[in-house]
Amino acid sequence: GHGRVAVELDSSAGVAVMKMENLPVNSLSLDFLTEFLISLEKLENDRGCRGVILTSGAPKIFSAGLDIMEMYGKSAEHYAEFWKAVQEMWLRLYQSNMVTIAAINGSSPAGGCLMAMSCDYRIMAENPKYSIGLNETQLGIVAPFWFKDTLVNTIGNRATERSLELGLLYSPPEAHKIGLVDQLVPEEKIQTTAAAVMSQWLAIPDHARQITKSMMRKPTVDRLLAHRESDIQNFVSFITKDSIQKSLQMYMEMLKQRRG
């Protein structure tokens, strides 16, 4: 790997911490997703690892979501390959046999929120500067159906409807209130809380927990598996539209200007 994902396995506890370190903002580029998938698969195949805590090594950001540069000014082949990697990340994380806990120590828009929602449990630092949500419509793009399904499974249908149409980014208290995150903690307590919650989850026999997780999540996963190719084609034809390329370009410029 190129050191974009730092994995530390505590063999005695059977718990790994996966720290995303694709600086500055942990955007989900193709290279990062590839490395993330390799790291996750290694842990998945390691009998000594039963749980993963997913967190960020970037200051103030959990993940900025999909790397906008991967969706802008590239070839159709590139978009297809990129989208397949995004699908694969969700499929692997959402169905992981391990207990997965997101320790959300920073902002987590769009794809970052999807990653957090794909875990079994979410703990967020109660810093008022952080926000989380599926803000796609604010970029002029539409969250794919399986992003929507994952949000419905997390917060319910009505909250999803409002959340998605307005592209809402929630403060930690708002996110907690609607159930987008399970628990808020002071920033400095996030890793110890994640470890404590992990031991509660690991007290349940793996086999029973895994079958139950699969029973809950399989119908959602099967929907993407049944439409995986057409989902790629949809993404490619949507993202190559002039109007969408233009929205993304304007959004990138807005992000850069906001700094100055």
- Point out the residues that are catalytic: 66, 111, 135-136
132 binding ligand CO8? (CB under 6 A): no
The least CB distance from residue 35 to ligand CO8, in Å, is: 17
167 binding ligand CO8? (CB under 6 A): no
Q: Which residues, 6+ apart, have CB-to-CB distance to 57 below 8 Å?
A: 6, 19, 20, 21, 23
133 binding ligand CO8? (CB under 6 A): no
Q: Are 169 and 137 in contact (CB under 8 A)?
A: no
Q: Which of 171, 193, 238, 240 binds ligand CO8 (CB under 6 A)?
A: 238
At 121, list the tokens.
Answer: 């449990």
- Cα 110 → chain centroid: 8
Strand partners, 16: 9, 52
Radius of gyration of the chain measured on its C-alpha atoms: 18
142 binding ligand CO8? (CB under 6 A): yes
Task: Give the integer Cα–Cα distance in Å for 115 and 110.
Answer: 9
144 binding ligand CO8? (CB under 6 A): yes
Within 15-34, which residues bind ligand CO8 (CB under 6 A)? 24-25, 27
The residue at minimum Cβ distance from ligand CO8 is 65
At 122, list the tokens.
Answer: 């979410």
Closer residue to ligand CO8 in complex, CB, 201/235: 235
The least CB distance from residue 160 to ligand CO8, in Å, is: 15
Whether the upstream peptide bond of residue 24 has omega within 30° of 0, thus cis, is yes
Task: Give the integer Cα–Cα distance in Å for 240 and 227.
Answer: 20
Distance from first CA to last CA of the chain, Å, rounded? 34
The least CB distance from residue 45 to ligand CO8, in Å, is: 28
Closer residue to ligand CO8 in complex, CB, 12/257: 257
Within 53-72, which residues bind ligand CO8 (CB under 6 A)? 60-61, 64-69
User: Applying CB under 6 A, which residues contact ligand CO8?
Assistant: 24-25, 27, 60-61, 64-69, 107, 109-111, 135-136, 139, 141-144, 235, 238-239, 255-256, 259
